[in-house]
Amino acid sequence: MHIFTSISRNYIPKARVLARSVRQFEPEAVFIVLLCDTLPEDFDLATEDFDHVIPLAELPIDERPAWTFQHNLVELCTAVKGLGFQEIFRRFDAEKVVFLDPDIVLFSSLALVRERLNVFSVLLTPHQTEPEKDHSAILDNEVSSLKYGVFNLGFLAVRRGAEGERFINWWSDRLRDFCYDDRGRGLFTDQKWADLAPALFQDLGILREPQLNVSTWNISRREITGDLERGILVNGQPLCFYHFSGVDSGALKVMMDVYGNRNPTLSALRAWYVQQCNAMGQREMGALECTYELYSNGDRIRPAERLLYRYREALRERFPDPYDCTDRGGYQAWYANNLHTDPLQPDEEVLSVMRHELDAIHHSISWRAFRKLATAYRRLGMRLGINGLLQRLSHRH
C-alpha cells in the first residue's frame, strides 16, 4: 500500500504526526508527501518518516505558473491530488494508493481498507453515516454536507485497474479546471465532485464503519470512549483514524464542545494532537509562507489579484508567469496601476464576498455555532460589518 498526503511546508509538522502513525500501524506502507511548495533549507529526508517527497514542480502541469497562481493554498493542495494518484501509480507501479489529509492520524491498522480494496476499485467515506436528530446538528452537519460535499475527501483509496484509473483520470481532469472554493457555482475544491462518483462509477465502495474518518461532523452520532493508553473506541470498535480538521482555526474545539458534550476522551485526544504537532515543529514551521502565495519580490498575493487573473484569459496570455515582477513589475504592477486600492485597506470586492458568505452562513449552521464563529472573526479584527448582522440574527432567533 502507498499512502500519500498533499501539503505546503507549514504543514510538515502535521504530516510528520501522520507519517509516524503510519509507521506504527502500517509499517510496510510507502509514505509519500506531495509538496505544493519548496522545502525548508534545513529539511533532511533521511531524518524523516517520509519515504519520498514529490514536489509540485515534478507533476505534469501545462503552463504551471499561470495554473498555480489561479489557486489559493487550499485549492492548490487539493487540485493536485488527482495528479498525485496518477504519478504514484506511474512512478512506483503501485497497486493500492490511499490519500489521507495531513491532519489525520491512524490509531489502528488500515486492514479494513486493504480488504475492501480487494472488492472495490474506489473507496469513499461519507461525512455522516447516521441521520442527525437535533435541529442544530442538522444545520451544522447535514446541511454542511449539502454545501461542501457528501463525502469527505480527506480520505480516498483507489486500486489500480481499469475502473480505478478511469475514476482517477476523470477526477484529475475536473480538478485541473474546476478545483476552486466557489460555492456559488456549486464547487468546493476537490470534494463536491465526489458527489457524482456513485452515479458515474459502478465499482465504488462506501465505507460506513463508524471507526473511520471520525471527526467533528459525525461525533454527535458516534459514541467515543476509552483513552489513549488503553485504546479509543468508536461505538465499541477500535478507532481507525481521526481527522483533526479545524485544529488551527479553533473550529475543532468549538465543534467538539458543541457536539462532543465535553467528552473527556475527545478533549484528551485534541490536547494530545496539539502536543504532538508542537513536538514536530508546529510553533516554528506553522507560520511559514508558501512559495506559491508570494510574488517573486516576496509580496503576498492578494485574493482579488488572484481572482481577476483567474477569470480574465487576456491577463493569462499577457502575463504567462504572474509571479515574476522583474519586467516592469509584471502582473502585480499592472494590477496596482489599473485597479488601485489602498494597501492599508482590505479589498472592498473581497470584503463584499466575505460579508455575503457570513450573511448566508446562518442558513447552514446552528445559531450557537454561528455566534462562536462570528466572535472569532471579530477577535481577528476582520472588518466584515458583522455587528449589524448579529443583531438581525439574534432578533430572528
Q: Residue 376 has what pLDDT?
A: 56
Nearest CA-CA partner of 309 in 324, 326, 297, 288: 324
Q: pLDDT digit string (tens) for 87-118?
A: 999 999 999 999 999 999 999 999 999 999 99
DSSP SS3 for 201: coil
The beta strands (E) that lie in 169-252 are given as 181-182, 187-188, 204-206, 224-227, 231-234, 237-238, 241-243
Sorted by sequence, the CB contacts under 8 Å of residue 380 that are 6+ apart come out as none
Ordered DSSP codes for 17-79: HHHHHHHHH-TTSEEEEEESS---TT--GGGSS-SEEEEGGGS--TTHHHHHHTS-HHHHHHH
**CA count, 13 A, side-chain hemisphere, 66:** 15
Say how far apart CA 61 and CA 83 lie, in whole Å: 9
Cell numbers 501539503 label which residue? 7
Could you tell me the maximum CA-CA distance found in the chain, to the nearest angstrom? 64
Question: Domain residue spans in the chain?
Answer: 2-222+239-244, 294-338, 348-396
Residues of the chain with pLDDT under 70: 340-397
Sorted by sequence, the CB contacts under 8 Å of residue 184 that are 6+ apart come out as none
Nearest CA-CA partner of 288 in 73, 101, 61, 119: 73
Q: Residue 259 has what pLDDT?
A: 86
CATH of 2-222+239-244, one of 3.90.25.10, 2.40.440.10, 3.30.930.10, 3.90.550.10: 3.90.550.10
Q: Residue 396 has what pLDDT?
A: 37
Enter the C-alpha cell of residue 390: 448579529
Say how far apart CA 284 and CA 345 lie, in whole Å: 29
Q: Residue 373 has what pLDDT?
A: 60
Q: Is there a contact between 144 and 364 (Cβ–Cβ < 8 Å)? A: yes
Q: Give 343-350's long-range contacts (Cβ < 8 A, gap of 24+).
A: 346/383, 347/302, 347/303, 347/304, 349/304, 350/302, 350/303, 350/304
Pairing of strands 2-7, 96-100: parallel
Q: Residue 269 has what pLDDT?
A: 96
Q: Residue 392 has what pLDDT?
A: 43
Q: Residue 339 has what pLDDT?
A: 78
Q: pLDDT digit string (tens) for 278-308?
A: 999 999 999 999 999 999 999 999 999 999 9
Look up the pTM and report it. 0.85
Say how far apart CA 195 and CA 201 lie, in whole Å: 11
